[in-house]
Structure 1
Amino acid sequence: MQAALEAVNNGRKIKEVARSFMLPESSIRDRLKKGEYYDPRLGRKATFSKEDEKELADHIITLAKTFFGITQQQLRKLAYEFAATKNIKHIFSREKGMAGKCWVYAFLKEILGSLCDFPEPTSMSRVLGFNKTEISLFFRNLEEMTEKNAYPAKRIFNVDETGITTVQRPGKIYAPKGVKQVGKITSGERGQNVTVVCAMNASGCSYIPPMFIYPRQRIKPSLKIGGPIGAQYECSKSGWINEELFEKWLRHFGKYISTTTKDPTLLILDNHASHSSLNAYQYCRENGIHMLSLPPHTSHRMQPLDVTFYGPLKAAYNRECDLYMKNHPYEKITHDVLASIFNKAYLRVASMDKAVKGFEVTGIHPINPNVFGDDDFISDPIVEGFTSENEHSIKNDISTEALSTHVTNQNRTDR
């Protein structure tokens, strides 16, 4: 068709061109009359042009990056309002005020490449806390401390707490097709959480033996059976860490690294309240432990243990729990066997490459303040056309004016 139109424009007669290219004469005349030179395609003409579809796709991607991803119904409504605003001829339902499902499936397949997945719940604090100002301040402090003390990789540590439970999360299994409810045996329906404190260094050659914190009044010998060599066992009423237990962990940490004021150690940790006691500060000062706190609500991106270690550790722990239940079908997983099960997973996961990669991808070692690009920083999403009273309903009422959504990197002053 394109060659035929070019032949006619070069002076050849339409009837002659139609015979030569075996095309309907009426089709050639229609293309010349309307000035349409797009590639022919099966089915009716698309509602939106390629430029319009790209604008819609870019807007959807922007919303997803700003943690305001839209659902299928919202996309259908957005497409209808977009067509109506631009006076684009369409066959969408005027009664419902939205595009059809077939249009959505075709749009997602052709433009976005795939359907959306279930989102991971992300708190507003994390969305707003991870901003360029806070991250830049952290790296500036890190650079100043490193220039002053020249910490080698083996002297840069990260410490963090995580929770493990006596009821594992079962993995995927094979089951007959069509069965709606598939079960797998676990230790119980609700488990008790035990806090585990882990630490590793940037060289990957040193993992500090973990500390277990049980939700009980006192420690009994059976809790230590089969646990990691050198591990420390403590208890608290809630099973969570507190200032007193963190001070005990610091002494446990100091015993394994043999730090001094002449050969200091950098300890990177989050800003949990238990980490800021006066006794902890004095112990660190006397023993050459320099603590550097991560910005609030950024551990999911900045904490090496969170980024590369705890995910594989918990997956391995769940597998070990499954094996234990198969070998002991009539026994529940209790605190007495938790440490031994955890130890098997810990020994498999605590590898050098995970530690090195964790510090590398967070930009802590080697120091890389540019590890996060502008697209990684999201703060104060602003949707034009919404007042402060109804901004909270953005997920339920995406309007066409939202196509002008943009993200600002202004400093927040309300933290």
Structure 2
Amino acid sequence: MRKAVEKVINNEMSARQAADRYKVPRATLNDRISAIKRGKEMSTEPLMGRFHNTFSLEHEKILVGHVKDLANRLMPLNRKEFLYLVFQLAEKLKLPHQFNKEKKSLRTPESTSLMRAVGFNRPQVDRFYECLETLIYRERGKNVTVLIAMSAGGQFVPPFFVFPRSRMNERLMINAPNESVGEAQPNGWMNAELFLKWMHLFVKYSNPTAENPVLLILDGHASHKDLDVIEFARKNHIHMLSTPPHTTHKLQPSTC
């Protein structure tokens, strides 16, 4: 394909001649040539069977940049999170693709705090908690997620509540701290959409600027790695940094 494109671009052959000479599909060759003439960076590497590239080289560089940036902030992506980021980028760029449909909630299961300890027998400890969960599950109430942020100077962002229900009821906020925010999510977990709403709240109370950016220390939850969250943070002068896995009990004083 590369040689065929070069021959046509250099006016050494017609597209038909190059396609016949190098045994490449003429329609694909014409598409590559048209894209290059429009100034679009295109790969001329052969395709793998029936699979076609979704992203141009320029778009791939953007994707790699996001991944490297997250890794540098101690927020590496696992496979599921990476595929979701790829899906988001393709949707944002309005590119036709065959990636999985969007999943509204991405939640990486958190390892138990016992991983932090030394000298425990992991299988036995896991067995204990499995038995404990079985015994108490029927009596367990519904979880409510509360996102709280504070500064080293003692200033707080109002609490952000996520209630396990389909529709928000303002009565749930009775007696909540002033200016608290409540949202509804069927499973009561934080997701990327809600975390982005919280980021708007964070900007309101932290007032980051280009001259005075704000450092936001996180725990590496999947919602922090969302493409819209990343871009919002960059636009609003928020430097996100995650603690390494299983270290929040030592590095983040707010962890209980």
Q: TM-score when scaled to structure 2?
A: 0.47
User: Which protein shows a greater Rg?
Assistant: 1
Q: TM-score when scaled to structure 1?
A: 0.29
User: Larger RCO: Structure 1 or Structure 2 (Cα < 8 Å, ≥ 6 residues apart)?
Assistant: 1
